[in-house]
Chains A and B, each alone.
Chain A
């Protein structure tokens, strides 16, 4: 998910060009940050998830009733499982330390494997200590993907905006605007597809305001973003109270987008429900991640976009219209976030309520940073946060010693750790947040 190879030392000035996806590692010294962090987390895992784990078996159901073939449920002793997993983690940390002594950076796969192991150890520990130590792994993962859908769209919007040099704090507003518009338009037309389209337009509209104020009027982009969130919240809240609640049958009962079940493929255990049993918005999510990634990193358009985000003056010199590129990218990002917003009202719940996005725009922002401004990274980060979100509701049901509030806190704590340690300094596009004035 994240390459840690290019993490610079604190205080190292970063040349704008270096933040491109080039692996310009040669000149940079390798820091102790990653090895130390991994080691510390490994020890925490060993003590808490390993040595202090209850000697109880945790059961993970893998198959659901509709699968082709039934796999037996996985039974893991929490104590033994915790110790094995944390020893593996410490092994990875030791490998990272070894690489550091050779002055080589920790490769990305080590960090990703570490995160996966940590999550697994945590899961075994939580479930092992629960009153009913049994959960359905398939359900957990499928639920995580569902909860991650709006996050992925939101973070893609952020990626598109920041890559072109505009900070997008307004993701929350774009999601909320999309959710509201999808609900009201789909209700009036009784057509969920029209609602989806309208959501994209609404998100784009919010984005256009962001683009207009930050590009034409050079207003601080963070200010516009923060204010837009309040504005959208106010407008949707106002219209919800005055229009939707007056006649909710007419204005707030959108037809939903159903789940499209691809026969046979959807019966594969675990990955079937994730990949082949989604709503239209869910499938669009996979397409959007792939398209944005290919677009940004494999096309001429993407190169131009990134050039504008990294060094607008150079891009301008090469004849790229900086501000126009910014405007349309930000607009496109808004449209994508708007589609994500429609997930709330057309798929998850079949009506709009005030503040339905519930701060997920900010989690999407976190996912984008944790995913290092890369569509695929953001996708996995969003999945991780969706997983934490889903786990939070599950631990409340199965009754574990961990208060659910701490589970809810997890994405935010992880993000703080990420921006402070793992992601390091100045990882974003160099010109992100800076208006471009020709001259």
Chain B
């Protein structure tokens, strides 16, 4: 696998060439989306250095072509396509399409109505419901959004942290499950005083996730097996293990034939922080704390610097005296621990029992959350809130307008696809004013771009 790196390094280095608009777009993309694929890859380097490669530029162009703008436009584009999909199956749209040429306004109006009706319902279900009785109820959807965002944020942080170290952690699902198993068992089987019990549930869950994630790191470090394959397999192993456990006397609720655990003790669950009317629990505060912690870890600590150095260029990191194996194991364990927090949020926060649906699809959603957040801690936090809003709102949308929840999957995945391909988004919105010439600069082969990025990341 190390050899793969060579190809990346052999590419002409456009990133540092200020006057090379020629391949600027390609450079932005390949850096941003990690043209190097599996290795330094998933780490959005622009997020590390805080600036777009490609040199100085006018302010206006920066605003309109910068990564922030691309993110906004990507969300917009995804929503538009999602809206078209909703409209395409709408009855009024198909009726009006019958006399499209006679009265096109009817058709366009119907399309607009179908899409906006669903999105308004989505908004009302996720942020603010004007029909609520009193302010408390009007903001209930927002609280629901935060509740659902909690596991998304922590699991997303786990994926993001691994990305920064150049590892693709698809194992959030399995890590959440393992954490859920351990945390739930501590929660219902042990009898401990208030405070200590919850603390132990949290710690046990984090360790459960960390062990499951760290195991992947260990196998990768020892044998070189690819973490994508390992984490996918570990997800399934964890799921079947959970299903097995839920049929054993130790985990199955007494007198119950369904695979469901006993309810966690009241001493073992997160308190509801804004009163019993909302499901929002202490886990959300811990998610904020985890975000701060990951930010500190990545940007202020030696370990975090090592992670990023390994992510940018494992060979260079090795040469610089960083223990790559140790970093791999550690970062996977930490990622597992963060996903573990999501598992704890599920069993000790929202669900209060362990079922085989404990992880729902949070582990997979976490990947899109981390990608949308460009693998930065606060970006991930914001993306978690956005996707939490989608999830919460989709339920309301389905009830009100009959639009299936699946539309959220479509919009989510489109957002990530578009964000990963900024030139596409710019092309769709006509923001590619510069003409492309292709004269690759052969002379600028330095092969040290990753190292430079690592250094830039360290300085940022």
Contact = CB atoms under 8 A, between A and B. Distances in A.
Nearest to B423: A217
A222 B244 contact: no
Interface stretch (A147-155, A335-343, A415-423): A415-423
A222 B2 CA distance: 18
Given A234-B407, A434-B36, 6 more contacts: A221-B37, A362-B232, A409-B240, A409-B241, A415-B229, A438-B440
Interface stretch (A94-102, A194-202, A400-408): A400-408
Contacts of A332: none
Given A218-B33, A234-B406, A313 B7 contact: yes
Interface of A: 10-11, 13-16, 167, 169, 213, 217-224, 226-228, 230-231, 233-235, 237-243, 312-313, 354, 359, 362, 365-366, 369, 403, 405-406, 408-409, 412-413, 415-416, 419-421, 424-426, 430-431, 433-439
Shortest beta-carbon contacts, A-B, top 3: A234-B409, A425-B224, A237-B406
Nearest to A19: B3
Interface stretch (B149-157, B266-274, B414-422, B447-455): B414-422
Nearest to A239: B89
Nearest to B421: A217
B3 A13 contact: yes
B233 A222 contact: no
Nearest to A359: B236
Contact of B237 (A169, A413, A431): A413
B371 interface: yes
A409 B29 CA distance: 39
Interface string B219-247: 10011111011101110110011011001
A409 B237 contact: yes
Interface of B: 1-4, 7-8, 10-12, 26, 29-30, 33-38, 41-42, 85, 89, 168, 170, 219, 222-226, 228-230, 232-234, 236-237, 240-241, 243-244, 247, 364, 367-368, 371, 403-404, 406-414, 416-417, 420-421, 423-424, 440, 442
Contacts of A223: 33, 42, 371, 416, 420
Given A224-B417, A408-B240, A433-B37, A425 B412 contact: no
Contacts of A421: 223
18 contacts: A13-B3, A220-B37, A222-B37, A223-B371, A226-B367, A230-B413, A233-B409, A237-B406, A237-B409, A369-B229, A405-B243, A408-B240, A412-B234, A412-B236, A420-B219, A433-B38, A436-B7, A437-B30
Contacts of A11: 224
Contacts of A10: 222-224
Contact of B406 (A213, A238, A366): A238
Contact of A412 (B36, B42, B233, B364): B233
A241 to B, nearest CB: 4
A241 B403 CA distance: 9
Contact of B225 (A403, A412, A425, A438): A425
A141 to B, nearest CB: 24
Interface of A, helix, strand, loop or mixed by DSSP = helix
Contacts of B440: 438-439
B35 to A, nearest CB: 5
Contacts of B368: 227, 230
Contacts of B417: 213, 219, 224, 227-228, 231
A169 B228 contact: yes
A426 B298 CA distance: 29
Q: Which among A10, A217, A241 has the highest number of chain B CB atoms within 10 Å?
A: A217
A419 B1 CA distance: 14
A416 B234 contact: yes
A416 B420 contact: no
Nearest to A368: B229
B247 A403 contact: yes
A378 to B, nearest CB: 14
B412 A230 contact: yes
B89 A242 contact: yes
Contacts of A420: 219, 222-223, 225, 230
Contacts of A169: 228
B404 A237 contact: yes
Contact of A435 (B30, B89, B243): B30
B85 A235 contact: yes
A365 B223 contact: no
Given A217-B421, A217-B423, A419 B408 contact: no
A294 B421 CA distance: 36
A11 B318 CA distance: 13
A65 B3 CA distance: 57
Given A226-B170, A437-B26, A431 B4 contact: yes
Contacts of A243: 89
A331 B250 CA distance: 49
A424 B226 CA distance: 10
A242 B94 CA distance: 13
Nearest to A416: B233
Contacts of A16: 3
Contacts of B410: 231, 234-235, 238
A224 B230 CA distance: 19
Contacts of B34: 220
Contacts of B222: 10, 420
A16 B170 CA distance: 27
A216 B239 CA distance: 37
